Homo-oligomer: A and B are copies of this chain.
């Protein structure tokens, strides 16, 4: 209903991989409702949040009474499937550098404001958070940001990023090796 939740998997050695971030209108922990199995991942609140609980029985009854809701639900989990496939694609085919660039481009497009120096936006969290989303470690995020800056593609100032050369950035996503 309000706030922001982070769905993630964590490894015994303390690494984390973010699977999704859900805001108002999103849903978490639906899987056990669908198939009665265990929770596939963990959830934590990024901000103070307010969540609504629907029991397995109530949900199923409601779906049987209002079949169009079930169809809608299929579309919702379908979207989640797509995102997971995207994550898998990035993890198996893209380098950390490319994943980082991909995240930056996405941020620039969604949260960026055009200025005279380029597209400007703020990183949504610490480097550590970003590393978790990309499935890597803090140092690599830091290093790669510096490298991109050295290449004059972006300009970093604490958590604010200015994209100076969006086409140049996007080009990195194409390079096969």
Counting chain A residues whose Cβ lies within 8 A of the other chain, the interface size class is 35 or more
- With a cutoff of 8 Å between Cβ atoms, the chain B residues found around residue A13 in the complex are 93, 176-177
Interface of A is mostly: helix
- With a cutoff of 8 Å between Cβ atoms, the chain B residues found around residue A81 in the complex are 31, 40, 77, 80-81, 84
- With a cutoff of 8 Å between Cβ atoms, the chain B residues found around residue A15 in the complex are 92-93
Q: Is A116 an interface residue (CB 8 A)?
A: no
**Is B82 within 8 A of A84, CB to CB?**
no
Encode A1-35 as 1/0 by CB contact (under 8 A) with B: 00000000101110101010000000000110011
Which stretch of A44-52, A65-73, A118-126, A148-156 is in the interface? A65-73
Closest chain B residue to A10, Cβ basis = B93
In the complex the two chains form, what is the Cα distance from A71 to B67 in whole Å? 9
Closest chain B residue to A31, Cβ basis = B78
**Is A88 within 8 A of B87, CB to CB?**
yes
**Is A92 within 8 A of B17, CB to CB?**
yes
